Structure 1
Amino acid sequence: MKGIMIQGTASNVGKSWIATGLCRTLVNRGMRLAPFKSQNMSNNSYVTVNGEEMGRAQGIQAEAARVEATTDMNPILLKPTSDQRSEIIIHGVSQDAWSGLQYRNHWYEKGKLAIQQSVHRLENHYEALIIEGAGSPVEVNLNDRELVNMSVAELIDVPVILVADIDRGGVFASIVGTLELLPDNHRKRVKGLIINKFRGERSLFESGVEWLENYTGIPVLGVLPHLEEHGIEGEDSLTVQPTLAKREKSLDIAVIHWPYLSNETDVTPLTQEQDVSIRYVRSVDQLGSPDALILPGTRSTIEDYIVCKEKGLTGAIRAYTERGGVVVGICGGYQILSDVMYRDETDEVGEKGIGIFPLSTTFVKSKQTIRVSGYTHEASGYSSVPMSGYEIHLGRTAGSITKPFLQLEDGPEGISLDQGRLVGTYLHDCFYNDNWRTEWLNRLRRRSELPEQPIVYTVNREERYDNLAAHLEAHLNMDKIFEMVEGSGL
């Protein structure tokens, strides 16, 4: 099958971002393609139209390729639940949580089969794949059973482009070191190099490009300048960065950074606002008195709650709400704001939550993954506006809810107290709904005696993908990359 694989010298060098841009660039050139990442480890997930869970990065890449995302584009998703264990999701179906050793010993063959099945199905629908690797291809202690880098390049028989991040320093050593550690048969697959996140005068790096090409014998396909505010969502929390407002007087919005934070992209639309700054809070001394506090999702709700409770952070959150603070809890954050959380249906004691909402959450084995739409509920304290997003959760939250946040197609959802000052919801992407986000922010602005602002429409995704494609076209040898895809293999 035609295609190309993007591998990196390390995590967070820009593989996902570049793969997304290549999807849009090559589909603009008339190629019928799909993204593919055999195994993704991330707590950022994406829900397909069929209600199946996959890595968010591949969902975004499918949008860039103008195709509907399916779990074949990411057959294996690993969602860390602790430092030692991850939930294993194969073709959108959860297989429980296992340790890394258990996964290697018991799931390797099943994972390999799932990958082969997905590739076979994708071959029947697309002419090419833009494939993303993970981490580094030279994790020598794990390469005997790896399922995501060179083994996949060999399975599909595609050339590899190696990406390095010059912004972190040591770019020459990282490229040469990676190539030196690759076995000869794998090294021969590397047909191009990309230097990413370059800052400064490009001409000063010409000698560096020349040295790399002479030393490695591999062409440098381009040097990509660091692109600020590209708007393409990151794969995982390694990409989470605080934002500064562009105006002198701004709203201070704090976001709790749980140890196993998930779907932090929920707050991304707030970063597009000119008078909003986002900061992440991990301890009591970092909380302060923000204009609003967001409790985002977490993959390990009770465990993360206990960690933050031991730090005194949960008590500080409650005190903030009692002082009149504005709070939004999303998914796991919503659950933590409830009175009590039960580990399963046999748990009679449970773990006491922060207690802002008079609700209880019971965790069950069957996960809810669904796209949803509706309106803000008439009792929410907000104007009735359309709302859409998706749900991914294991908990069932129940109690006396007389003021729901949303009215969805299948009934009321969430809770909204004190005229919308305190909101809890399972709706991921709620801040992507421009009308509601603007109303919520303007309430904060009035409280802080800042001028209200008109609706800032969330930057059109299509525009973002096209801008990224234009960036790659300007700085990469896209003709050469196109030729590599068309002539896939060694």
Structure 2
Amino acid sequence: MKGIMIQGTASDVGKSLVVTALCRILSNEGVKIAPFKSQNMSNNSYVTVDGKEIGRAQGIQAEAARTEATVWMNPILLKPRSHQDSEVVYLGKAIETFSGREYREQFYEKGLEVIQESFHQLSKEFEMVVIEGAGSPVEINLKDRELVNMKVAALADVPVILVADIDRGGVFASIVGTLELLDPEERKHVAGLIINKFRGDITLFEDGIQWLEEKTGIPVLGVLPYIDHHMIDGEDSLSIAGQFANQKQGNLDVAVIHLPFISNYSDLEPFLYEEDVSIRWVRKGDEFGAPDAVIIPGTKSTIQDLKFLREQGLDVKIKNHFESGGFTVGICGGYQILGEEIVDEAGTDTGIVNRMVQGIGLIPGKTIFFHEKETTRARASYHENTGFPKTHGLEGYEIHLGNTFIKKNGCSFLRLEDGKEEGYFQNHGQIIGSYLHHLFHNDEWRNRWLNLIRIQKGLPPQETRKIQEFKGERFDTLASEMKRHLKWELLKEIIEKWSPKE
């Protein structure tokens, strides 16, 4: 199976976006293409059609490639649970929590085996693979047992394109420094360079391109523009800063609690395309202000993040906001935090069996953490309790260890496809809790909720913005823009004629 690997000089240089674009470009040319990332570290995840969990970036890249995402596209997902420990999701299922040292010492051989098996499985169905690296390939303290950069390029026997971010500065040093720190055998794999996030007049960089090619002996395959609001879901905490940095000032002020172990923050991205909505990330009590609505997103460590809220005084701020008539939504871990009680029955959230803590108490529910995680795609309709019509279905996915048991009847939010009741809905939508990730990606629901807030503020309701209709368009727009700035025929030639330099 032919392929190419995209590595970067650092984190957040745009590797995921470049891989997404290449998947779409190749798919447009009729190539049966698969994305791949051997090991992903992110709490922003994606549920496959068979209910398995992989990194969100690879799920989105599969959509760009017009194929169904599978665990073979991301066999290892590390989900940080603390500053030291991560849950290991292996072929879509959580198996164990390791410290960084334990993972390196105990998992390396198993990691190599599943990477090789993944390539074998993908080769049965696909003609080509576009592989994404992670961070930098020259983290000297980690190189001897790495599972995601040059070791993967060697296992797959593919050329590597090195991506550098010119927007952050130091692009020449980052490229030359990375190449100098590679071992000679590793450097043989680097067949091209891409400069990403360029702003301004490209003619002012032509001397820079010439210098790089003369200095390194490696062709610059493209200088890609800085693409703002590309609508491709981010992967990690660095992406949060980038995507929400230049927020507009809208009439609706929505405060999102920035939990230390936030997960699946892609739940919030649709609000970026609502013209009258301003998203604010709140980390401290003095940042809270007087928002129209508060959203508590998912978390990989509910009890630790609840402790963080209390330390920052945000629990009191959230309660006061609700009592003064403000709208409040908790998704997954945020739903659990809004409840009355959390019991870590299995010790899966804290490592302490039967540890019990009090929640914020706005939802009359008790959450119990079990051993097994639930991961599933879900379809639902509004529960009859809401008073909303059932003409529009909702879609999303669930990823959670705990289950929440509501103590009152007649206050569910959704009715799932199998008939089960889900979530919490009261005070005409003033407070909502749900395990349904991507709730706000449902255009009709997002608009309905925002109109409740608009009407309360004395603003006219708005028509539904069909964000979902832009999904295919955004992939094609990204692919077209990227291809226009790439030496595309040369890049394809590198893939087709690849053989390591002697």
TM-score between both structures, scaled by the size of structure 1: 0.98
Q: After TM superposition, give the deviation of residue 400 of structure 1 in Å.
A: 2.0
Structure 1: runs of 5 or more not aligned = none
Which digits, 9 at most, give the CA deviation of each residue in 1:422-445, with x for residues without a partner? 000000000011111111111111
Q: After TM superposition, give the deviation of residue 95 of structure 1 in Å.
A: 1.2
Q: After TM superposition, give the deviation of residue 323 of structure 1 in Å.
A: 1.2
Q: After TM superposition, give the deviation of residue 235 of structure 1 in Å.
A: 1.1
Aligned partner of 1:377 among 374, 383, 391? 383
Verify the 8 A CA contact 2:330 2:434 in the aligned structure 1. yes
Verify the 8 A CA contact 1:244 1:276 in the aligned structure 2. no
The aligned residue for residue 498 of structure 2 is 488
Verify the 8 A CA contact 1:295 1:328 in the aligned structure 2. yes
Amino acid at match of 1:310: E
- Residue 458 (structure 1) aligned with residue 460 (structure 2): no
**Aligned equivalents of 2:9, 2:268: Cα separation in 1:** 29
Q: After TM superposition, give the deviation of residue 188 of structure 1 in Å.
A: 1.3
1:353-432 map, 5 Å: 353-384=359-390, 385-401=392-408, 402-410=410-418, 411-432=420-441
**1:489 to 1:80, Cα distance in 2 relative to 1, 3 A:** farther
* Segment drifting more, 455-464 vs 158-167: 455-464
Which digits, 9 at most, give the CA deviation of each residue in 1:62-116, with x for residues without a partner? 0111111000000000000001000001101111211010001111111111111
The aligned residue for residue 29 of structure 1 is 29
- Residue 332 (structure 1) aligned with residue 328 (structure 2): no
**Aligned equivalents of 2:357, 2:226: Cα separation in 1:** 45
Q: CA RMSD in A?
A: 1.3
Verify the 8 A CA contact 2:344 2:354 in the aligned structure 1. no
1:296-375 map, 5 Å: 296-344=297-345, 350-375=356-381
**1:362 to 1:294, Cα distance in 2 relative to 1, 3 A:** same
| Matched residue SS, 2:364 | strand
Verify the 8 A CA contact 2:369 2:403 in the aligned structure 1. yes
Verify the 8 A CA contact 1:374 1:408 in the aligned structure 2. yes
Verify the 8 A CA contact 2:394 2:442 in the aligned structure 1. yes
Q: After TM superposition, give the deviation of residue 193 of structure 1 in Å.
A: 0.5
Q: After TM superposition, give the deviation of residue 457 of structure 1 in Å.
A: 0.3
| Matched residue SS, 1:277 | strand
* Segment drifting more, 440-449 vs 131-140: 440-449
Verify the 8 A CA contact 2:250 2:278 in the aligned structure 1. no
**Aligned equivalents of 1:223, 1:328: Cα separation in 2:** 42
The aligned residue for residue 286 of structure 1 is 287
**Aligned equivalents of 1:443, 1:204: Cα separation in 2:** 50
**Aligned equivalents of 2:220, 2:346: Cα separation in 1:** 57
| Matched residue SS, 1:68 | coil
| Matched residue SS, 1:94 | strand
**1:52 to 1:349, Cα distance in 2 relative to 1, 3 A:** closer
**Aligned equivalents of 2:182, 2:58: Cα separation in 1:** 26
Q: After TM superposition, give the deviation of residue 381 of structure 1 in Å.
A: 4.3
| Matched residue SS, 1:130 | strand
The aligned residue for residue 111 of structure 2 is 111
**Aligned equivalents of 2:179, 2:450: Cα separation in 1:** 50
| Matched residue SS, 1:167 | coil
**Aligned equivalents of 1:294, 1:480: Cα separation in 2:** 47
Verify the 8 A CA contact 2:193 2:220 in the aligned structure 1. yes
Verify the 8 A CA contact 1:80 1:87 in the aligned structure 2. yes
Which digits, 9 at most, give the CA deviation of each residue in 1:405-427, with x for residues without a partner? 10111211000010111000000
**Aligned equivalents of 2:145, 2:360: Cα separation in 1:** 43
The aligned residue for residue 479 of structure 2 is 469
**Aligned equivalents of 2:37, 2:354: Cα separation in 1:** 41
| Matched residue SS, 1:193 | strand
1:136-285 map, 5 Å: 136-240=136-240, 241-242=243-244, 250-285=251-286
The aligned residue for residue 39 of structure 1 is 39
- Residue 443 (structure 1) aligned with residue 452 (structure 2): yes
Verify the 8 A CA contact 2:8 2:135 in the aligned structure 1. yes
User: Which runs of structure 1 show a deviation greater than 4 angstroms over 4 or more consecutive aligned residues?
Assistant: 243-246, 345-349
**Aligned equivalents of 2:220, 2:323: Cα separation in 1:** 58
Verify the 8 A CA contact 2:138 2:181 in the aligned structure 1. yes
**1:275 to 1:191, Cα distance in 2 relative to 1, 3 A:** same
**Aligned equivalents of 1:473, 1:243: Cα separation in 2:** 27
Which digits, 9 at most, give the CA deviation of each residue in 1:29-71, with x for residues without a partner? 1211100000000001000000000000000000111111000
Q: After TM superposition, give the deviation of residue 469 of structure 1 in Å.
A: 0.5
| Matched residue SS, 1:96 | strand
| Matched residue SS, 1:18 | helix
Amino acid at match of 1:287: F
**Aligned equivalents of 1:91, 1:145: Cα separation in 2:** 20
Verify the 8 A CA contact 1:434 1:457 in the aligned structure 2. yes
**Aligned equivalents of 2:76, 2:246: Cα separation in 1:** 36
Q: After TM superposition, give the deviation of residue 234 of structure 1 in Å.
A: 0.9
**1:413 to 1:448, Cα distance in 2 relative to 1, 3 A:** same
**Aligned equivalents of 2:346, 2:323: Cα separation in 1:** 31
**Aligned equivalents of 2:284, 2:473: Cα separation in 1:** 37
Which digits, 9 at most, give the CA deviation of each residue in 1:179-205, with x for residues without a partner? 000011111111111000011111111
Q: After TM superposition, give the deviation of residue 364 of structure 1 in Å.
A: 0.9
Amino acid at match of 1:313: L
**Aligned equivalents of 2:425, 2:406: Cα separation in 1:** 13
Structure 2: runs of 5 or more not aligned = 348-352
Verify the 8 A CA contact 1:252 1:278 in the aligned structure 2. yes
Q: After TM superposition, give the deviation of residue 243 of structure 1 in Å.
A: 6.0
Verify the 8 A CA contact 1:245 1:274 in the aligned structure 2. no
Q: After TM superposition, give the deviation of residue 281 of structure 1 in Å.
A: 0.4
**Aligned equivalents of 1:287, 1:205: Cα separation in 2:** 43
